[in-house]
């Protein structure tokens, strides 16, 4: 049909400054749309465009137009079939905001992620929304966005007068990756996953307490808090693992503590489920603490949160003149002293609950040189040199 033979359907509606069009589309019905223009010639162009798409059989585009997912202006700008397909694909992508909201409401239970991790993700997503429009769709979480987000975070850090560390940026990228994984696994959505390209991280500090520092800390530590800190130093468990313990997890008679995911608890990873031996020096103190604070099987052994524990740790370190140490350094202290006493790497890996031996290997440099000679002599004796 030539334009000369074409009969336009545009008309003016009472009370509207714009031209409207009216067309009947097979399978859709009557289509009445505002052209959003006061220019009659442009309105007629849009009218002809609708008929053209009808003749081409692009009812998918016309359905999206009728539903309001795309506009006449977008339809005109995406005449190329490939560009039109990309546009329709993008419009079919679900809105981002409701998905993110749902993820934070149920994502932890869906995927087994710890609540502390979800809180960390929430902090990262506040930064992500600084770059991502609130009306964004899932498809907008693409490679271009990741690049823009990295530049935004570096610019933010520069404005504040410091350099953005690789570890800080990686936490934000991990929040994006965790959300996309949930979309695929739990919502069964089709996701084109961008390459997040995590940044190199420094190995970080390995602060550990010497025997003298431990003795000074023990002297300054309030008696009611020593069962917690002593257990951390004597077993190498993390503070979150210790705070999750209930009375039935500790077997005083067998000098054993079990770390597992029963009773609704979540571990950082599967390798963290393990049994640890409690040093005899702590048994009587721990037994008295449990009898007082957790007499029933499901009572929490340490009925408080991380914040008060950190405050007591800081005060005790200050009184003991132990500088620059955090609660997590109890774990480093256990690992370093274990290596110094010749505990093999494979056993230490299991004691610490590391999933990868490379994580445990960071402590290898603390092994004294005497073990190199002892190991060499042991091997030579075995092969009878």
Identify the bridge partners of residue 126 per DSSP, sorted by sequence position.
none
Residue that is written with structure tokens 């202290």 in the block: 333
Q: What is the mean pLDDT of residues 61-89?
A: 83
Q: What is the pLDDT of residues 9-54, one digit of tens each?
A: 899 988 889 999 999 888 888 889 899 999 999 999 999 999 988 8
Sequence-distant (6+) residues with CB within 8 A of 384 are none
**CA geometry: angle at 46 spanning 44 and 49, to 5°?**
110
State the fold for domain 211-376: hpI Integrase; Chain A (1.10.443)
pLDDT at 381 exceeding the cut of 70: yes
User: Is the predicted pLDDT of residue 207 greater than 80, yes or no?
Assistant: yes
| Residue of 4 and 282 predicted with greater confidence | 282
Q: Please tell me the predicted confidence (pLDDT) of residue 106.
A: 83
Per the model's pLDDT, the better-predicted residue between 361 and 315 turns out to be 315
pLDDT score of 258: 93
Alpha-carbon distance of 354 to 133, in angstroms, equals 39
- Which residue has better confidence, 110 or 205? 205
Summarised one tens digit per residue, pLDDT across range 312-344 is 999 999 999 999 999 999 999 999 999 888 888
The pLDDT value given to residue 232: 95
Q: Which residue has the tokens 């800390």?
A: 217
| Residue 151, pLDDT above cutoff 70 | yes
- pLDDT of 1 higher than 60: no
Q: Residue 250, SS3?
A: strand
Average pLDDT of the chain is 87
**At residue 2, does pLDDT exceed 60?**
no
* DSSP code at position 268: S
Q: What is the pLDDT of residues 256-297, one digit of tens each?
A: 999 988 876 777 777 788 999 999 999 999 999 999 999 999
Span 347-362, mean pLDDT? 88
Block residue for tokens 């409401």:
105
Q: Are 193 and 146 in contact (CB under 8 A)?
A: no
Residue closest to 62 by CA, chosen among 88, 41, 90: 88
How far apart are the C-alpha atoms of 190 and 289, rounded to whole Å? 53
Reported confidence tier of residue 369, pLDDT bands at 50, 70, 90: low
Rounded Cα gap, residues 260 and 262, in angstroms: 6
**DSSP line for 287-332:** HHHHHHH--STTSBSS-S-HHHHHHHHHHHHHHHT--S--TTHHHH
Give the model's confidence band at 111: pLDDT under 50 very low, under 70 low, under 90 confident, else very high. low
How far, in Å, CA of 52 to CA of 21, rounded? 14
Assess whether pLDDT exceeds 80 at residue 148. Answer: yes
Instruction: Return the SS3 of 193.
Output: coil
Residue 363 Cα distances to 76, 118, 276, 355, angstroms: 64, 29, 19, 15
Does residue 209 register a pLDDT over 90? yes
Q: Which residues pair with 25 in a beta bridge?
A: 29
CA 251 to chain centre: 34
Question: Is the pTM higher than 0.75?
Answer: no
């Amino acid at each position: 049909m030539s334009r000369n033979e074409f009969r336009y359907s545009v008309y003016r509606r009472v009370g509207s400054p714009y031209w409207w069009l009216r067309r009947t589309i097979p399978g859709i019905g009557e289509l009445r749309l505002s052209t959003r223009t006061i220019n009659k010639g442009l309105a007629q162009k849009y009218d002809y465009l609708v008929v053209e798409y009808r003749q081409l059989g692009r009812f998918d585009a016309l359905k999206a137009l009728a539903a309001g997912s795309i506009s006449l202006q977008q339809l005109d700008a995406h005449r190329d079939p490939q560009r039109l397909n990309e546009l329709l694909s993008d419009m079919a992508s679900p809105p981002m905001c409701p998905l993110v909201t749902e993820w934070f409401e149920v994502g932890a239970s869906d995927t087994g992620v710890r609540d502390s991790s979800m809180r960390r993700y929430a902090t990262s997503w506040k930064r992500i929304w600084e770059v991502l429009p609130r009306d964004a769709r899932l498809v907008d979480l693409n490679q271009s966005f990741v690049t823009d987000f990295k530049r935004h975070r570096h610019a933010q850090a520069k404005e504040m007068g410091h350099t953005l560390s690789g570890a800080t940026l990686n936490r934000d990228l991990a929040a994006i990756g965790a959300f996309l994984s949930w979309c695929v696994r739990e919502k069964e959505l089709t996701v084109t996953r961008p390459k997040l390209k995590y940044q190199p991280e420094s190995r970080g500090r390995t602060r550990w307490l010497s025997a003298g520092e431990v003795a000074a800390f023990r002297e300054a530590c309030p008696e009611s808090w020593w069962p917690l800190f002593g257990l951390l130093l004597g077993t190498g468990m993390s503070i979150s693992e210790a705070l999750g313990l209930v009375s039935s997890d500790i077997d005083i008679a067998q000098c054993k503590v079990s770390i597992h995911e029963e009773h609704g608890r979540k571990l950082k990873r599967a390798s963290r489920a393990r049994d640890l031996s409690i040093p005899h020096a702590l048994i009587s103190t721990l037994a008295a603490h449990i009898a007082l604070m957790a007499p029933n099987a499901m009572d929490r052994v340490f009925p408080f949160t991380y914040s008060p524990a950190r405050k007591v740790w800081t005060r005790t370190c200050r009184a003991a003149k132990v500088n620059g140490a955090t609660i997590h350094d109890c774990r480093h202290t256990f690992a370093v002293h274990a290596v110094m006493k010749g505990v093999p790497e494979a056993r230490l890996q299991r004691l610490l609950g590391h999933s990868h031996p490379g994580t445990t290997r960071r402590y290898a440099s603390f092994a004294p040189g005497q073990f190199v000679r002892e190991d060499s002599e042991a091997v030579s004796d075995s092969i009878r040199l």
